[in-house]
Amino acid sequence: MRYHVMWGTYGSWLPGDPRGFRTRKGRRQVPWDYRHPPPPGTYDRLHAYAQQSLKKPPVVLPAPLREPLGRACLERFGLEGVEVFALSVGAEHVHAALECPGKGLKTLVGRAKKVSSHRVRGRLPGRVWQEGCRPIRVRDEAHWQNVLNYIKSHAPGAWVWVRGDP
């Protein structure tokens, strides 16, 4: 099965975020998302509380570390037998187009995140990634092409790898 999987850096997308947000397991019904953000100021108090509860500042990946993080993810996925078609590592999030069995996908991504964060240990203090990931199962070929093009479109600011690249 094909998936578009996303995960973010620590503190990059918090409850109350002005760009819109989702709560864990939908505990709080929020009718807005990044395409239709809430009116300005709606969740300012919640966002301020979420920022104060962080144990360290949010992580923004410097450009020189994006490639080592991405290559570490590619290596780990390869060891796990996961086919990667495209991967982008930006300042605050990662997108991956993968083909693998759906069972255990979040665990596989967790291992890739662990290996990649160990690869940059010492250059980034503490925790690099947020908990979890968001896998979206690809519906059809048109959706798959949209996912691949979307990941490739991150190229100007992110490190992007596409299958067939060195």
Tally Cβ neighbours within 10 Å of residue 41. 8
What pLDDT is recorded for position 19?
77
Q: What is the CATH number of domain 2-8+59-162?
A: 3.30.70.1290
Closest CA to 71 of 42, 96, 38: 96
Cα 163 from Cα 48, distance rounded (Å): 41
Closest CA to 82 of 109, 113, 114: 109
pTM of this structure: 0.87
Q: Which residue has the higher pLDDT, 113 or 28?
A: 113
Q: Are 87 and 165 within 8 A, CB to CB? A: no
pLDDT in tens, 16-29: 888 777 666 666 76
Comparing 5-19, 76-90, 105-119, the range with the smallest average pLDDT is 5-19
Task: Say if residue 50's pLDDT is above 80.
Answer: yes
What pLDDT is recorded for position 26?
64
Strand partners, 159: 89
Query: For the chain, what are the domain ranges?
Result: 2-8+59-162
What pLDDT is recorded for position 116?
95
Query: Taken in order 158, 58, 47, 6, is the CA torsion positive or negative?
Result: positive
pLDDT in tens, 143-165: 999 999 999 999 889 999 999 87
Cα 123 from Cα 62, distance rounded (Å): 10
